[in-house]
Structure 1
Amino acid sequence: MAHDFNNMLGVILGHVDMAMEDLPTGDPLHNSLQEINRAAERSAKLTRQLLAFARKQMASPRVIDLNDIVSATASLLQRLIGESIKLVWRPGAYVHPVKLDPTQLEQILVNLCINARDAIDNMGQIIIETGNTSVDDISTCTINECLPGDYAILRVRDNGCGMDQDTMTNLFEPFFTTKDIGKGTGLGLATVYGIVRQNNGFIKVESEVRQGATFTIYLPRHHVEPESSPNTPDRESDRTPDTILLVEDEQMNLTMVKLILERQGFRVITALTPNEAIIRANEHEGDIRLLLTDVVMPEMNGRDLAIRLLNRHPGIKVLYMSGYTDDIIARHGVLEEGLHFIQKPFTSGALIAHVKKMLDQDNAPN
C-alpha cells in the first residue's frame, strides 16, 4: 500500500511542479496549485511517519535540526495523546545540529509521548523542549554512559503518576511494563534506548511517585564540515544533451519523470521493463550517461539490471528509485554504501538536483 500510495503522490507532485513552472507570475491558479502541492507533501510525510511508527524504515542518518522535526511532528503527537492532554512545545534557540535518521527521532517522540499519555489520568500536560548542553567532566556526571562533549538535548516532561525507584531501574528492559495485560508491549522505551545508544547518545530519567516524569535525551553535536566549491562544468553550456535511460514499470510515473528530465534538456530513452531497457541500450548509438531505474520490477530488479548494463556500458552511472519501504528495498541490495538512491515520492527539483550532482561528479562511484 505504501508503494502504490507513494507512486500516486509522486505523479501528483511531479505534474504540479511542472504546471507551476509554466504559469506566468501572478496567475490566480498558482495559489491553488501550491495548495495541491502542500497537501501532497503532507500526505507523503504522513506516510513516512506511519511507516516509522510501524518500524518499517531502516536508519538513514543525516544532519537535522531538532526543532524542525519536532515542529513537523507536533500535530501527529497531539492526535496520538488525545484532546484531554495539552501538548506544549518549547523550542530552544540555536540548537546544535545532530546526525540522526529523522524517522528515528519521530519514533522517539511518539514512544515518549505515548508513555507520558498513559501515565496521565484523564487531564494533563506534556511538555517538549530542546536546547544545548555540555558535559565537561565525566567524573561529576550523574548520567549513565555519558561522555564529555557538546550535546543537543530533547526533553519530554509530563505531570502524570510518576515512577518509583524500582520501576526506573528496569525502565529500558525489553518487555518490562507496568501497564495492564493487553495495554502495552514493554518495547516502547526499550526502542527509545536502542535508538539513542545507536546514535552515541544517552538518556537521563527523573521521576517521583505522583510528581510526573522527565526524559532528557542527549544527542552528540554534529560539527558540519565546510563544503568546498569545486569548479564544476556548466551543464547548460554543453553542446549535446546527456542521455538518460529511464526504466519504470508504472506508465504514469514513466511519463511524468520523462517530462521532468526533458524539460531540463536531457535526452531520455524510456523502457517499461528491464529486458526492454537492455534492448534499447544496445540499440542506442552513443554514450548513456545515467541509468535511472525503479528497484522492484518484473523480470529482474533494478540492481540486476544495472549490473547487466554496466558490463556493456562501463561508464554509466546508476540512480535507483522506489516507493517501497526500506525493509523491502534492502532485500534488493540498493541501500549499500556507495550506491545512489532517491525515495518516491520526490519533487521535480529534488530529482533534477540529484541527477545533475551525479553527472557533475565524473569520478563518483556508480
Structure 2
Amino acid sequence: MPGRDALRHMTREELEAEVLRLRSAVEPVPQPQAQGGVVDLQAIPTSLEALKINEERFRFILNTIDAAFAIAEVRFDEDDNPVNYRFLEANPAFVREAGVDLRGKWVTEYAPDLEPFWFEVYGGVAKTGIPATFESYATTFDRWFDVRAIRVGNPADRQIAVFFTDATERRRAQEQLRASESLARENIERVQLALEAGAIIGTWHWDLVEDLFKIDEAFAQAFGLDPARGQLGLKHEEIVAAVHPDDRSARAAAIEAVIAGGGAYVHQYRVRRADGEYHWIEAKGRVNRSAGGTPLSLPGVLIDIEARRAVEAERDQALAELMALNDTLEQRVEERTVELMQAEEKLRQSQKMEAVGQLTGGLAHDFNNLLAAISGSLEMIGIRLGQGRMADTERYLQAAQGATRRAASLTHRLLAFSRRQTLDPRPTDVNVLMTGLTELIQRSVGPGIQIETVGAHNLWPALVDASQLENAILNLCLNARDAMPGGGRIRLEAANRLIDGGAAELYEIPQGQYLSLSVTDTGVGMSPEVVSKAFEPFFTTKPLGQGTGLGLSMIYGFVKQSGGQIRIHSQVGLGTTVCIYLPRHDGDVCRIEPTKHPVAVTAKRAETILLVDDEPTIRMLLTDTLSELGYTLIEASDSMAGLKLLRSDMHIDLLITDVGLPGGMNGRQMADAGREVRPGLKTLFITGYAENAAIGMGELPPGMWVLTKPFAVDVLLSRIGEMLAS
C-alpha cells in the first residue's frame, strides 16, 4: 500500500485509480457456497480478513489524500430526471472544502437553491457512465471547484465517485490579472484619448458596476466640484446636475447606446462651469467590458469646444445667408463667400493652435530639462572655481556638453520633419555612399543580422545632402534591426527608375527619372494601419521611453525637402521595404571622402577672417578660439557693416557669416555682393535655422560651405583648415 508521502505525489488520475480499485475490493464478499450440502467454514475467516485489510487501505487513503473525495448516490424522478443526490462517503478533505459534514444528507436539505447544473452533470454521469471533468462555481459555498465525476459500482445503484479540487485562489488570481489588464488598457485608452483630444478640460472614470464617477482635479476645478470627493467617486446624478437641462436626454440616450452596442462614445453637450455659465464640451470615451461582455467601466476625457462651436455656428450662419441670397447680386454673394472663408480660417486656426499647444508643451518640457542641466552645471562650475576645486569641474562640463548635444539633436529632428533643416545638397554617387556605409551598419545592427548591398551599373547621381542621406539609411537599418529581434537579413539596393503616368500619380511626384534606394528586412512587418501612420510625427510602436516617434518623420521631411518621395511596403510576418526616390541629377558627382577625425589646425600665414554675426556671444567665442590659433579676426554685427568691410581694400582670406542677419541683407546676399569685388571669396555659412531660399535650393557655388549650429569647436577648426588649404 502506498505511504503518505507517495500519496501526496500522486497525480489525480493515479489517485482516482487507487481509490476506485480499493473500493471495489471492499464490496461485500460473496458467501461461501455449500459443496454437496457442506459449507467450507475455513474460507470465511480468510475472506473476512482480506475484506478488513482492503477496508483499512481504503480508509487510510481517503483520510490521507489532500484531494476532496466523496461517493454520491443520485436520485431520479419517475421520468428518470435527476432531482437530488446525497454523499454516502466523504473524506476529511471533502469536509474541509465543504465546511460542513455532508455524509448521509441529501443536498437539497442544506442547499435548496443549488444550481440545476450540478444535478444534470451528476445525473448524466450516473446514467451514462461517461466521466465528466469541469470547473464550476458553487454559490452555496462561494467557491470555485475543479470537479471530476466517475460512475462506480453497479450501474443500477446510480452511484458516482466525485473528486474535488478548490480552484478559488487560482480563479481570483486570474480575475485580478484580468482586472489589472483592463485597468492598463483603460489607462492606455485615456492617454490615447487625451493625445487625440486637444484642449482637455479633465478626465473621468465611471465605474458602471458601482455607479461611481471618479474625476481628476482639473475636471473638479472646472465644474466647481470638490476634488477630494471627485477622487473617491461621485454618483452619476451629481455630474448630470451640471449638464444643461435641454441636453440631458440626448446625452443619456448616447450613453445608453454605447453601453448597449459598444464602440466609442463621442457626444457634445453644454455644462455649467465654475463661473455659472454654460459652455460647450465634447465627451470622448470607450466602454470596457468583461470577458462575458458585461459593461464594467466608461473612462474618457472632456474637451473644451466652446470656441470651435462658436466658429462653426458663425460658419453655419454664413452658409445659411449665402443660400438665402443665392439669387441676389453677385457682389453680395462674394461678400458672404469672404465671410465664410474667414470663418473657416478661424476654425482651422483654432485647430492648429490646439496642435501647436500640444507640440510646444512637449518641447518646453524637454528643453526646460536640458536648460536646467546646462545652467545647473555652469553654476556648479562657477562655485567650484570659486572654491579652487578644479578637479571637480570636469563632470559638470561633461553634463553641460551632453545636454547641449541632446538639445541640438532635438531641434535637428524637428526641423527635419518640418522640412526646414539646413541642407548642403551636392551631386552624389549613391553606390559609393551606400558601400561606404556597410561596415558602420554591420557594427550597428550586430553579428546576428546579415547585410547585403546591391548597387546598380551606371547609377544616376542625385543632388542630395550626403551626410543627411547617410543618417537616413542608418536610421532605416536600425529600425529594421528592431523588427528582427531574432536576427535576419537587411538588403540595401539602388536602381534607376523611370516614373511616369499612373506610377507618378500613385507616388505623388512629378514624372521623370529617379534614383531609388531601398532598405528591405525580413522582420515582423507592419499592418496597413501602422503603415498609414508611420510618417506621422511622434507616432511610434516602441514601448514608452524607447522611441521619440520622430525618426521616420524626420527621414520623410528630409526626402521631401530634397525633392523626392518615400514609400513603405510591408506585410505582417513577411518583412518591410522602405524605398526612397530622389530626382536624377544631370552632371558630375562629388567625390565622397572618407570621414576624417577633426584635427587641430593653426594659421599658416596669419590668415585674416571676417566674422559677421549679430550674436555677441558667438562672436566672442569664435574670436577667442581662432585668435589663439594665430588667425587675425575682423568682426561685424550686421550685413551692412560686413559688406562695407568686404568692399574695402582690407585683406580677407575667409568670410564666416550667419545666414540670418540684420541690416537689410541676409548672409547669402551679403556674400554674393562681396564676391562681386572679391571673386572666389571663400565663405563658410554658420546657421541654426535658415530658409532654403537664403542659402540656395540647389548646389552652392565652389568655395561656399555650410555648418549648422550648434557645432563642436574641433569640427569648425577642421572645416576652416580644409577651406583655407584648398
Whether TM-score is above 0.5 comes out as: yes
Partner in structure 1 of residue 471 of structure 2? 107
Q: Secondary structure at the match of 2:451?
A: strand
The amino acid of 1:110's aligned partner reads L
Give the gaps of 5 or more residues in structure 1.
1-46, 227-242, 259-269, 276-281, 297-302, 354-366
Structure 2 CA distance, aligned partners of 1:132 and 1:306?
34
The amino acid of 1:191's aligned partner reads M
Structure 2 CA distance, aligned partners of 1:200 and 1:247?
34
Q: CA deviation at 1:346?
A: 3.4
* 1:1-366 paired onto structure 2 within 5 Å: 55=413, 58-135=422-499, 137-139=500-502, 143-224=506-587, 245-246=608-609, 270-271=632-633, 287-288=649-650, 290-295=652-657, 315-316=677-678, 319-321=682-684, 326-327=687-688, 341-342=704-705, 344=716, 345-346=718-719, 350-353=723-726
The answer (yes or no) to whether the contact 1:335–1:341 under 8 Å persists in 2 is no
The amino acid of 2:688's aligned partner reads D
Q: Relative to 1, partners in 2 of residues 1:316 and 1:200: Cα closer, same or farther, differing over 3 Å?
A: closer
TM-score normalised by length of structure 2: 0.31
Q: CA deviation at 1:76?
A: 3.0
Q: Relative to 1, partners in 2 of residues 1:160 and 1:118: Cα closer, same or farther, differing over 3 Å?
A: same
Structure 1 CA distance, aligned partners of 2:425 and 2:494?
19
Structure 2 CA distance, aligned partners of 1:257 and 1:182?
47
The amino acid of 1:128's aligned partner reads L
The amino acid of 2:538's aligned partner reads F
Structure 2 CA distance, aligned partners of 1:134 and 1:60?
26
The amino acid of 2:584's aligned partner reads R
The amino acid of 1:189's aligned partner reads L
Please identify, of 66-75 and 201-210, the stretch whose mean Cα deviation from structure 2 is larger: 66-75
Structure 2 CA distance, aligned partners of 1:53 and 1:89?
32
Q: Secondary structure at the match of 1:96?
A: coil
Structure 2 CA distance, aligned partners of 1:75 and 1:53?
28
Q: Relative to 1, partners in 2 of residues 1:327 and 1:74: Cα closer, same or farther, differing over 3 Å?
A: farther
Q: Relative to 1, partners in 2 of residues 1:80 and 1:179: Cα closer, same or farther, differing over 3 Å?
A: same
The amino acid of 1:162's aligned partner reads G
Q: Relative to 1, partners in 2 of residues 1:245 and 1:142: Cα closer, same or farther, differing over 3 Å?
A: closer
Q: CA deviation at 1:168?
A: 1.7
The answer (yes or no) to whether the contact 1:162–1:209 under 8 Å persists in 2 is yes
Q: CA deviation at 1:321?
A: 3.9
Structure 1 CA distance, aligned partners of 2:522 and 2:411?
24
Q: CA deviation at 1:119?
A: 0.9
Structure 2 CA distance, aligned partners of 1:305 and 1:168?
41
Q: Secondary structure at the match of 2:560?
A: helix
Structure 2 CA distance, aligned partners of 1:305 and 1:291?
17
Higher-RCO chain (CA-CA 8 Å, sequence separation at least 6): 1
The amino acid of 1:210's aligned partner reads G
Question: How many residues are paired up?
Answer: 264
The answer (yes or no) to whether the contact 2:453–2:491 under 8 Å persists in 1 is yes
The answer (yes or no) to whether the contact 1:247–1:254 under 8 Å persists in 2 is no
Q: Deviations over 1:62-88 (max 9, x none)?
A: 111112222333333233323322222
Q: Deviations over 1:189-239 (max 9, x none)?
A: 11222222222212232211111011111111011289xxxxxxxxxxxxx
Q: CA deviation at 1:97?
A: 0.7
Structure 1 CA distance, aligned partners of 2:476 and 2:627?
41
Q: CA deviation at 1:336?
A: 7.5
Structure 1 CA distance, aligned partners of 2:656 and 2:424?
19
* Higher gyration radius (CA): 2
The answer (yes or no) to whether the contact 1:244–1:291 under 8 Å persists in 2 is yes
Q: Secondary structure at the match of 1:200?
A: coil
Q: Secondary structure at the match of 2:493?
A: strand
The amino acid of 2:719's aligned partner reads F
Give the gaps of 5 or more residues in structure 2.
1-404, 416-420, 590-605, 612-621, 638-643, 659-664, 708-715
Q: Deviations over 1:259-318 (max 9, x none)?
A: xxxxxxxxxxx347779xxxxxx9xxx94453524558xxxxxx999999xx9xx94565
Q: Secondary structure at the match of 1:290?
A: coil
Q: CA deviation at 1:105?
A: 0.7
Structure 2 CA distance, aligned partners of 1:105 and 1:132?
17
